């Protein structure tokens, strides 16, 4: 399949694996890229820029296909050393960066000067237009369904994607709620040039996370996510568990007075315990509503091949058949 996204990134299939904290290691990125999609290493999971440089080198040993690095600009006062991470990306010869969180404008000149293509992840049409205006090459439009941070507008992809298509000139991928060929074909119909998946890629053979995490996603239904941290305007969609219930009780009792310190136990530093040790109740962790559509743990190649062949069948048989 050829779209503006496959052309832009030089990939075979219009399927991207979004950056994921403590999931987006070289093993997963390489597996997705080897399967013809675009794998992405998550920069901030690496404690230092030197660690990121090693992770990029490790990924390059596992694939000769294009892969990217995610740079998440967090809403924090103690910012990570982004310029050093960017140096590791440039020196590692990575040609694709997925930015997310805050506006990436101040870092764009260095990335662009190094010939890097930038895809910015946004949760609204206005942020997508801003990304286009500041020179991003593409955007990843993340609907309300998504795992992780859906923003504060709560617009689902059935509306957000065609709205983005109405306004944007640069290519965009649909993100949030994407699981299979139906998602891909629907996204293309709504105006996107491909899909970005997070939660679906966690439940794959190569995702370097504990089996408990994969099993929790397969076991979950579309009813099992919750939104946390809304009073802090840092809304996150997570899989429900006792830590999430505890956090939501604190939000209900403290109301608008709640501070980050009040929920630190449920939120801070919990990812290694969950993703590596498999203690899935150790804190809150991102997961999309799409868990309801995830019923197996295939290899990345099986998953991507299945999406592409089923998409062809939907387009050639089901849809074309309807035209009579």
Ligand X SMILES: Cc1cc2nc3c(=O)[nH]c(=O)nc-3n(C[C@H](O)[C@H](O)[C@H](O)COP(=O)(O)O)c2cc1C
With binding defined as CB under 6 A, does residue 286 bind ligand X? yes
Question: Contact region for ligand X (CB under 6 A) — 16-24, 242-250, 252-260, 297-305?
Answer: 16-24
Residues 79-118 interacting with ligand X (rule: CB under 6 A): 100
Could you say which DSSP state residue 305 is in?
A: H
Residue 180 binding ligand X, by CB under 6 A? no
* Strand extents, DSSP E, 150-264: 172-175, 195-197, 225-228, 236-239
For residue 177, state whether it binds ligand X (rule: CB under 6 A). yes
36: contact with ligand X by CB under 6 A: no
- Residue 101 is inside which H or E element, if any? strand 96-101
Using CB under 6 A as the binding rule, whether residue 230 contacts ligand X is answered as no
Among 46, 175, 225, 241, binds ligand X (CB under 6 A): 175
According to DSSP, the residues that pair with 73 across neighbouring strands are 101
Q: Which of 18, 96, 14, 15 is nearest to 286 (CA)?
A: 18
Nearest CB to ligand X, comparing residues 199 and 204: 199
Tracing tokens 């890629």 back to the chain, one arrives at 201
User: Token digits for 274?
Assistant: 């969950």
Two structure tokens written together for 179: 């699981």
Here's the x/- map for ligand X, 55-84, by CB under 6 A: it reads as: ---------------x-x------------
Q: Running DSSP on this structure, what letter comes out for residue 141?
A: E
> Which residue of the chain is nearest ligand X when measured via CB?
198
Does the protein bind ligand X through residue 176 (CB under 6 A)?
yes
Q: Which stretch binds ligand X (CB under 6 A): 5-13, 82-90, 240-248, 283-291?
A: 283-291
Structure tokens at 224: 């099992």
Q: Which of 208, 266, 253 is nearest to 30 (CA)?
A: 208
Q: Tokens at residue 254, please?
A: 């403290």
Min separation Cβ 123 and ligand X, Å = 9
Residues that bind ligand X (CB under 6 A): 18-21, 23, 42, 70, 72, 100, 121, 142, 145-148, 175-178, 196-200, 285-288, 290
């Amino acid at each position: 399949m050829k779209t503006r996204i496959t052309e832009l990134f030089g990939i075979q299939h219009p399927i991207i694996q979004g950056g994921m904290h403590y999931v987006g290691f070289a093993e997963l990125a390489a597996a997705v890229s080897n399967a013809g999609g675009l794998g992405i290493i998550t920069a901030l999971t690496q404690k230092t820029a030197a660690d990121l440089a090693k992770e990029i080198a490790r990924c390059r040993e596992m694939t000769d296909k294009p892969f990217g690095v995610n740079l998440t600009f967090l809403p924090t006062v103690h910012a990570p050393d982004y310029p050093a991470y960017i140096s590791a990306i440039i020196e590692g010869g990575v040609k694709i960066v997925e930015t997310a969180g805050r506006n990436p404008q101040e870092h764009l000149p260095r990335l662009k000067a190094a010939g890097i293509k930038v895809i910015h992840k946004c949760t609204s049409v206005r942020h997508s237009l801003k990304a286009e205006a500041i020179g991003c090459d593409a955007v990843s439009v993340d609907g309300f369904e998504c795992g992780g941070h859906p923003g504060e507008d709560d617009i689902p992809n059935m509306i957000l994607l065609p709205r983005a298509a109405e306004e944007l000139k640069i290519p965009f991928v649909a993100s949030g709620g994407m699981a299979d060929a139906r998602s891909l074909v629907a996204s293309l119909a709504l105006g996107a040039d491909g899909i970005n998946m997070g939660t679906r890629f966690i439940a794959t053979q190569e995702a370097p996370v504990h089996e408990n995490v994969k099993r929790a996603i397969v076991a979950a239904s579309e009813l099992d996510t919750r939104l946390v941290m809304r009073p802090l305007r840092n809304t996150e969609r997570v899989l429900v568990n006792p830590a999430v219930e505890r956090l939501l009780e604190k939000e209900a009792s403290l109301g608008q007075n709640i501070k980050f310190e009040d929920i630190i136990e449920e939120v801070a530093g919990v990812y290694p315990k969950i993703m590596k040790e498999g203690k899935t109740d150790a804190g809150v962790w991102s997961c999309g509503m799409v868990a309801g559509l995830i019923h197996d743990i295939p290899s990345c190649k099986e998953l991507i091949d299945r999406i592409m062949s089923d998409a062809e069948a939907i387009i050639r048989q089901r849809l074309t058949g309807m035209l009579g």
